[in-house]
């Protein structure tokens, strides 16, 4: 894995966590009389509610940070009920990411993921990041977006692609 890529992983996670925070703020504003209501919203009854989707989104960069530190995965065990709890969790995960050092050698190490029921995955560090952490991270981030959008929150692609907004330019005509 190239050094540039390993350095950008932190910025990708951090900028997308900022998108998550932005989406939560938009949802809370939409339901301003009951902003914390958003955390109980679901796409469908057999899927986790938005509060759990926020935690699952945060679990990926959290576990990435632990992995970089040579520690075992430990999913965040919290039930998000309020906007302030969500913001605090996101802030903590971003701060943890900011503190870690990523050694390029980590990406060639074999990582074992315990899946429960005596099942596990063995992946290279690169596959762990590219085939497990990032897809899982984006799945839950998109699910937060979808729940809010389905619930009438006025958000669009610009809100989801927030990390690109500072790079947008206007051509002079």
Residue 5's pLDDT band (cuts 50, 70, 90): low
Is 7's pLDDT higher than 80? no
Q: Where are the domains positioned within the chain?
A: 3-167
Q: Tell me the per-residue pLDDT of 29-80, one tens digit each, with 9 for 90 and over.
A: 999 999 999 999 999 999 999 999 999 999 999 999 999 999 999 999 889 9
Residues contacting residue 28 through CB under 8 Å, at least 6 positions apart? 35, 36, 38, 83
Cα(168)–Cα(135) distance, rounded to whole angstroms?
A: 26
Give the angle subtended at the CA of 40 by the CAs of 97 and 73, to the nearest 5°: 30
> Which spans in 36-168 are helix H?
50-68, 83-99, 125-127, 134-150, 157-160
pLDDT grade, residue 2 (50/70/90)?
very low
C-alpha separations of 24 from 19, 29, 35, 82 in Å: 9, 9, 9, 10
> What tokens were used for 82?
């309020």
**Tens digits of residue pLDDT in 66-91:** 999 999 999 998 899 999 999 999 99
Contact 30, 152 (CB under 8 A): yes
Q: Look at the alpha carbons of 25, 29, 34, 37 in this order and tell me if their dihedral is positive or negative.
A: negative
| Residue for token pair 């900028």 | 15
Architecture of the domain made up of 3-167: Up-down Bundle (1.20)
pLDDT band at 116 (very low <50, low <70, confident <90, very high): confident
* pTM of the shown model: 0.92
Q: Are 65 and 96 in contact (CB under 8 A)?
A: yes
């Amino acid at each position: 894995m190239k050094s540039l890529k390993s350095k950008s992983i932190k910025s990708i996670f951090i900028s997308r966590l900022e998108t998550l925070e932005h989406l939560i703020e938009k949802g809370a504003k939409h339901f301003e009389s009951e902003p914390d209501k958003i955390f109980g919203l679901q796409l469908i009854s057999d899927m986790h509610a938005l509060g759990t989707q926020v935690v699952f989104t945060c679990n990926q960069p959290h576990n990435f940070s632990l992995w970089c530190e040579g520690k075992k995965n430990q999913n965040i065990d919290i039930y998000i009920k309020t906007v302030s709890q969500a913001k605090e969790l996101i802030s903590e995960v971003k701060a943890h990411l900011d503190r870690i050092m990523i050694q390029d050698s980590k990406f060639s190490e074999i990582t074992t993921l315990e899946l429960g029921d005596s099942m596990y995955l063995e992946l290279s560090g690169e596959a762990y990041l590219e085939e497990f952490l990032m897809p899982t991270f984006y799945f839950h981030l998109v699910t937060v977006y979808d729940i809010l959008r389905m619930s009438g929150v006025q958000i669009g692609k610009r809100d989801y692609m927030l990390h690109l907004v500072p790079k947008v330019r206007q051509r002079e005509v």
